[in-house]
Amino acid sequence: MQRSLAKTFWYRFLYHFFRMFFVVTCCLRVRGRDFEPREGGVLVVSNHQSYLDPILVGLSCGRRLNFLARSTLFRFAPLRWHLKSLDTIPIQREGIGMGGLKETLRRLKRQEMVLVFPEGTRSRDGEVGPLKSGFCVLARRGNVPLLPVAVAGAFEAWPRRSRLPRPGVINLQVGPPLWPEDFQQMNDDQLVAEVQARITACHALAQNHVQRARSE
């Protein structure tokens, strides 16, 4: 899609601002960047630890990332302006919804990257929870690779019970993509299990780096 120069500049400004902010306050490190496909539509699938995750996963990607957000968040004017400035796709609380599904597929077919959190909600204990199968239809209809990403340390930096974030150590791990030809013979249960395994493996690596950093 054609974006204005202002929107392009705004995204890059936020990218560099938050990258510096999290490197300083949370010793942010990202590993596995080379796994990111350099072109074409990509569905990024990540675990969900905190409100910080969309920003953090965006920082793990060299290309511009499209985000999804509940439609209810667009009701608050300042937040609505911010979400629209990033071309965020509104979705229904109980799922993506038909409108969100169509817009997500349009962006994937325009060779863009879109982030989804298959767990559907933030983790209650920091571990990777069971994944929902909604992402399967996006990957199949969009005919795009699935790029697993895991966040570690964000749960401790901003747990569900806390109103505000706090300094900590955050690491992200990007894993090898799962290409359409790899999952075209899988049913949805098998695809969910494979993506669950890949995100969990990425999370284990990222968590290991977080623990090492804390012990230094």
Domain ranges (residues) in the chain: 5-215
Q: What is the pLDDT of residue 95?
A: 65
CB atoms within 10 A of CB 188: 14
HEC-encoded secondary structure of 62-128: CCCEECEEEHHHHHCHHHHHHHHHCCCEEEECCECHHHHHHHHHHHHHCCCEEEECCCCCCCCCCCC
Q: Which fold has domain 5-215?
A: Glycerol-3-phosphate (1)-acyltransferase (3.40.1130)
Q: What is the pLDDT of residue 147?
A: 98
List the chain residues with pLDDT less than 70. 1, 93-95
* Res 216: pLDDT: 76
CA–CA gap between residue 152 and residue 128 (Å, rounded): 10
Find, among 65, 78, 87, 81, the residue nearest to 4 by Cα: 87
pLDDT at 87: 95
State residue 94's pLDDT score.
64
Contact status, residue 199 vs residue 128, Cβ threshold 8 Å: yes
* pLDDT value, residue 215: 87
Question: Any residues with CB less than 8 A from the CB of 1 and at least 6 apart, and which?
Answer: 87, 107, 110, 112
The rounded radius of gyration (Å) of the Cα atoms in the chain is 16
